[in-house]
Amino acid sequence: MKWINNFSNSHIPYYIYKLNKGDKILYNPNKIYNRSIIILHGVIYLFKIFQNKEIFPLAILKTNNIIDLEYSYETQHYYTIIALDQAYLMSFSLLNIKNKIYIKKQILFNIIYGQKLTLKQYELMNQILRHKYIKYRILQLIFLLSLEFGIIHKNKIIIPFSLSQKNLSIIIGSNKITINQIMNYLSKKTIIKYSTKKIIHIENIVNLQLLFSY
């Protein structure tokens, strides 16, 4: 509510969007955007799509992260957002803030802080994609998700939103067959449990870390 209250009190126009799990926002490549998006609640993942249909994952984002959307005819890419869980997004233009003679410092502070948090998520995704082998990408993704979102329950760590094989393949740049093979391997080793609802339970975080050395 702090974002909505601050923007309303400063008379800055904004729009609120509700996304249910699996909902997608595709930004038209034939339009120029100068918008920013604040994640008020929920978890989404963001990726670029180029004209040759190549997909480049950018980040998994959560509450208070901020996305700056810009489309350039020179780079010829556009953005897609997919909700991993129910999410509420606030869309606004930085131009409306720049044109304000008076604006609360708290809004500027929150925006800067939100962008700092988002930059961290981009860096975490880059760490995952640096790995040459898909196995290590999945291992690091699961490990980082457990740190960022994990809920401890009865000596297990639960990632509290579903991640289908299709979603995992997009996030780490692979295919569903490879994802299935690796997830089945991790399940057989009782390192994770991958439920029918596509919820990941980390059964043994120590063994998950040890696999990085193999």
Delimit the CATH 2.60.120.10 region(s) of the chain. Answer: 1-129
At the top level of CATH, the class of 1-129 is mainly beta
Distance, CA of 33 to CA of 49 (rounded, Å): 15
Length of the chain equals: 214
Distance, CA of 106 to CA of 15 (rounded, Å): 20
Distance, CA of 118 to CA of 10 (rounded, Å): 24
DSSP string over 79-141: EEEEESS-EEEEEE-HHHHHT-SS--HHHHHHHHHHHHHHHHHHHHHHHHHT-SSHHHHHHHH
Delimit the CATH 1.10.10.10 region(s) of the chain. Answer: 131-211
Q: By C-alpha distance, which of 66, 170, 144, 145 is closest to 109? A: 66
Per-residue pLDDT of the chain (214 residues; tens, 9 = 90+): 788 988 888 888 899 999 998 898 887 655 556 778 999 999 999 988 887 888 888 999 999 999 887 655 556 777 889 999 899 999 988 777 776 656 667 788 888 899 999 999 999 999 899 888 898 899 889 988 888 888 988 888 899 888 888 889 988 888 899 999 999 988 888 888 888 888 898 887 777 766 665 5
Domain 131-211, CATH number (from 3.30.1360.200, 1.25.40.10, 3.30.70.20, 1.10.10.10):
1.10.10.10
Distance, CA of 144 to CA of 109 (rounded, Å): 27
